[in-house]
Structure formats: structure tokens, C-alpha cells
Structure 1
Amino acid sequence: MAHGASFPYEQVAEIGGGAYGTVYKARDMESGKFVALKSVRVQTDQDGLPISTVREVALLKRLEQFEHPNVVRLMDVCATQRTDQETKVTLVFEHVDQDLKTYLEKAPAPGLSPVHIKNLMQQLLCGLAFLHSNRVMHRDLKPENILVTSQGQVKLADFGLARIYSCHMALTPVVVTLWYRPPEVLLQSSYATPVDIWSTGCIFAEMFRRKPLFCGESEVDQLGKIFEVIGLPSEEEWPNDVTISKKNFPPLFPRPITDFVPEINEQGAELMLEMLTFDPLRRISALNALEHDYFKEEETQVAKGNDIERNKSQSLSVT
């Protein structure tokens, strides 16, 4: 981790601010290349570094050695002591021009083609299978945290909430933007990697709809919106360790996903429902999703410009 006054990056523009700090586009003054700087001002412990940032950096460094094509690259880390109690930590990432949210907004009507959506989904799942095989969950997947290069390459970004996990453990409930949060997080139950699959199912629907699938205004409202689509779960499926009762919701039956995502084909609808499954233990995994029939048809078109098999074997070989 680089410390000290010499900071070889020149800020060019602010890209955006998240809950965890501001992101800037900058120029590497040595190479002239653009990079993305994620700066966080942090309260420090007696050793001068915040534990959450240390965790994020260690995680990114560990993943970096695999150079996965669908995970954003961490190029440098700089820490500048501001006061005894505060340090400015700057993570330097490769710069990607746009996120998936912008990419969907910029797509001319009627939106992305089904083949294009399939290609993006396949890359997203390759990145996710790689993370999950390394015992890492992202926990905040949403279109703003998925980058798309000008060549159409998908890169998962912003691992501020990622966390090496061990089995099912109760972690902070304040994760994952409300609209992409799975039921187990909304109910404050225990969770693991299936949280990312639920978020991916929501993003899958959004690629077709060009607007979010579930737009709740509170945790309970969000659950209500979810049950309007997938139906109210049975008593057996409802987790025991939660404060919100099933009685808070009217009895609702599942509706066909094509009522909400009319352009999707039969295999795509099937995969989407396997991602949007209430019980996390029955939700499809990223690796199994990559093997789904949805990706088998028109395989040559889908694989164009994307070395899928290499990605998958890489994600399998790093466990």
C-alpha cells in the first residue's frame, strides 16, 4: 500500500458518489492512461487504518492475481494520513466509461436485443461464479455496480460490501440497494452467496424492461412487490428467525413472469424464475445458471467476442 505525498494521479472529473465514498476519473501522470479513483476518508484505529478498507483491499488484491476478465482491476492503493484520527485511502481501478444503468439508458429503442442481453448475462454470471468460487459475495449488485466497456465487456465493480463469508452468517442487513435486495435480507434472516443471484435475476429482468422489476419504498413494501410476482411463500418456506410475519401479506398466487417481462423467451423465463426463488437454498447457483438451456441455444452468437469456456474453467479452477 503506497503511503506519502507523491500522488501520481490527476483528477479529471467526478464519476459518482456512493455510500462508501466518491469516485473520480483521473489520469495516471506516468502512463497518461485514464483510471478510476475511489477515495474514502476514514476514521482510523490505533494502527492508522480502518478495518473495512483493509478487508476490501486484501480481498481485491487476492482476486487480482487471477485477472478475471469480468472483474474490475485494482491497479494501486494509496493511503494519505490527514490527521491522527483520519486517513484518506484511494483505490485506483482500471477506468471503464459506463455502467450498465447508463448502457441500458443509451440503448436506442426498443432496447437491447435478446442475443445481446444473453451475452451480458453470461459474462455477469461468469464474474459471479468466479467470486463465489473464491468464497466472496458481492452483496450490492445493481446496474450502477456493473461496468460495460465500449467493446461490450462486463466487469463487476465496487466490492465495498463484499465479504469473505463462511457458510450462512447473519451480516449487516443494510446491504444491497432496496430494489435488488433478496427476501432473506429484507426479512433480516441469515444469508450467503444466493443474495447475489437474486440481484442478478432483478437485473436480468431490467435488461428487458429498461426499468427495475421491484420498486418498493420500504422493506415491507418491497416484499409485497416481490410476492405480487412470485406469489406468497408457504408457511414451510417462511424463515423462523424473522420478525416480519407472513400474516402481514395478503395471499397471492404466482403470476407468469412474462406478464412483467413479455419479450423474454421460454428458457430465459425459466432461468429468471430459478434466480427469483424465495428460498435461497433452492435458488440456482451462478455455475449452474451458466449451464442452463437458456445459454445453449444460438451458442455461437452468444459466445462471439467472449471466451466463455476459458472464463468458466478459470472460475472452476480457483476454488
Structure 2
Amino acid sequence: MDFKLSDFFRTAAKKDDTPTPAPRDHRHLSSMLVQILHALDYLHQRGIMHRDVKPDNIGLSKQFDLKLFDFGVARPINDMKDLTEGASSPLYLPLEVQLVEQYDWGVDIWATGLVALDFLNHPFYPASVNSKPKIKQRILDVFGVPGNKYKEFFKDKLIHEKPRDGIFNAFLTTACTRLGPALGNLNEENFQDLLGKMLCINPRRTLARELLEHKYLKAVNAGRLKKAKEKANQCKNTLDDHESTQNERDKETLIKTLKNFSTQL
């Protein structure tokens, strides 16, 4: 990997306050999300959650190929274990972790949604949010506290929170002003719908493999799978050719060896 994703974000952000800011390309955004979600799907289907998805832990090549790394706080997804302890980057952890509730792979989906906002240089948290209590309040301020709706997820842990409306839709609309022109299903409406499925208070978030079938990602994902299949076939053909050549060489060597020991050949 040539860079960290965070380096790419910082470079792009430098142009945002200039007279000619560069809009973010839907194709880059969708490709980034597809690659992260593929990595997470691979982990989640094998019973592992990363727990520290953030731009600093994602490598980026000059060809815009991404790799997820730093598995230092990764843990098995075990329904029998009451996993409540936090990980190393509280800013990328959802409300259930802030409230010390049980959680699972959904924490990685939430974090990926925040990475998408970082791509747009519209981070979820203002710079003043620098503690766990402030993180919790920011989440509640953005999503609102609709009466007792959250009680089914968090019991009475939010009972003292004043009911209030959220600003999530307005927040997303502002974030999307940095996006470039739409390209078919790669448009603002579909992106906001996708992000709404990733950034939701309900800890039972949509699976990574299901998100890959979302309208905003489906075509990009299909193209990536096609390229991967073609590459695999190419590697197989190369291996078959190598084996065929090696077999011919082995045959010639065997015949020569036998000739040395048999006058019948």
C-alpha cells in the first residue's frame, strides 16, 4: 500500500477551502465502500469483527485499491459472550458501545458509515467532541431521542434524556454538497439511503453482504467481482500452462533416464 486512506482524505481536504474546491467523485466513494465492505464481509462470515475501522487503518494504493489492516483489537463474534468493552477508537464506535451495551459486527458497519463522511470532509463529530460523554451526546443530538423508542435497544440507559428531534437528514444533505454529478444509480438519494442503513441507532445493522447489493453499490460491486473472476481465471490458465510445460520437461527427463538403463527404448 502506498498511503493510508487518511492521507488521501487530508490531501483532498486541502482544496475544499479554495476558490475552486474539487467535488468528490461518486465512483471513488462507491469503490471505497465496496472494498471496505468486502473485507468486512470476509471477516464477519468467519466470525470476526474488526472493531477499529477508521481511515488510519485502511491502506490505499495509487490504483485506488484498499486493504484493511491493524487487527490488534479484532475479536470473535460470540453470541454466548457478553462483549461490552470498548476498542481503541471511541470516535468510530456506535451508541451501544458508548452505553456499555452488548454489541457485535454492527460496530464495523457503523464505523464504515463514518469513514464515508470523512471521505466527504464532513466528519460526524466536531473537533470539540473529545470525550465519551460528548460522543454520546453528539450521537443523540444528530439522531434525536424519539420518546421511548430506544428503550428496546438500551433498556433504561437513556431514560433521563430529554426527547428531541434529530438533524440527521439535514446533516446528510449538507455532507452531500461535496459530491460531484450523479452517474445513474450513483446519486445523492441512493447514497443517503445507504448511509441511513449503516448509521442507525439499532445495533442490528444491515449485513455487509446485503449492503453490497444496495443500489448505490451494486453495479460497482458487480464490476469488481467480474474483474476478480477474470484475474482468477488468468492465474489458473497461467498455472495450467506452467504445469503443462513442466509435465513435458518431466516426461523428457524420464525418457532420457530410462534410455540410460534400457536398450529397449
Q: TM-score, normalised by structure 1?
A: 0.59
Q: CA deviation at 1:192?
A: 0.4
Secondary structure at 2:200 match in 1: coil
Shift in CA distance, 204/231, structure 1 to aligned 2, threshold 3 Å: same
Secondary structure at 1:284 match in 2: coil
Q: For CA contacts below 8 A with separation 6 or more, give which structure has more relative contact order.
A: 2
Q: Distance in 2 between matches of 1:117 and 1:228?
A: 26
Q: Which one-letter code corresponds to 1:277 in the other structure?
A: C
Is 1:288 the counterpart of 2:210 in the alignment?
yes
Q: How does 1:47-126 map to 2 (within 5 A)?
A: 96-107=1-12, 109=15, 110=22, 112-126=24-38
Task: Specify the alignment match of 1:262 in structure 2.
Answer: 176
Task: Specify the alignment match of 2:251 in structure 1.
Answer: none
Answer with 100-109 or 253-262: which moved more.
253-262
Shift in CA distance, 249/176, structure 1 to aligned 2, threshold 3 Å: farther
Q: How does 1:143-182 map to 2 (within 5 A)?
A: 143-167=55-79, 169-171=81-83, 173-182=85-94
Do 1:169 and 1:191's aligned partners in 2 also have CA atoms closer than 8 Å?
no
Shift in CA distance, 133/155, structure 1 to aligned 2, threshold 3 Å: same
Aligned residues: 211
Task: Specify the alignment match of 2:115 in structure 1.
Answer: 203
Q: Which one-letter code corresponds to 1:142 in the other structure?
A: K
State which structure, 1 or 2, has the greater radius of gyration over its C-alpha atoms. Answer: 2
Q: CA deviation at 1:190?
A: 0.1
Instruction: Identify which of 234, 238, 247 aligns with 2:151.
Output: 238
Shift in CA distance, 155/111, structure 1 to aligned 2, threshold 3 Å: farther
Q: TM-score, normalised by structure 2?
A: 0.70
* Structure 1 runs not aligned, ≥5 long: 1-95, 315-319
Instruction: Identify which of 201, 205, 217 aligns with 1:278.
Output: 201
Instruction: Identify which of 208, 214, 217 aligns with 2:125.
Output: 214
Q: CA deviation at 1:126?
A: 0.7
Q: CA deviation at 1:213?
A: 1.2
Shift in CA distance, 260/181, structure 1 to aligned 2, threshold 3 Å: farther
Do 2:51 and 2:108's aligned partners in 1 also have CA atoms closer than 8 Å?
yes
Do 2:92 and 2:111's aligned partners in 1 also have CA atoms closer than 8 Å?
yes
Q: Which one-letter code corresponds to 1:279 in the other structure?
A: N
Q: Distance in 2 between matches of 1:303 and 1:245?
A: 42
Identity, in percent, stands at 28
Q: CA deviation at 1:244?
A: 4.1
* Structure 2 runs not aligned, ≥5 long: 16-21, 180-187, 233-265
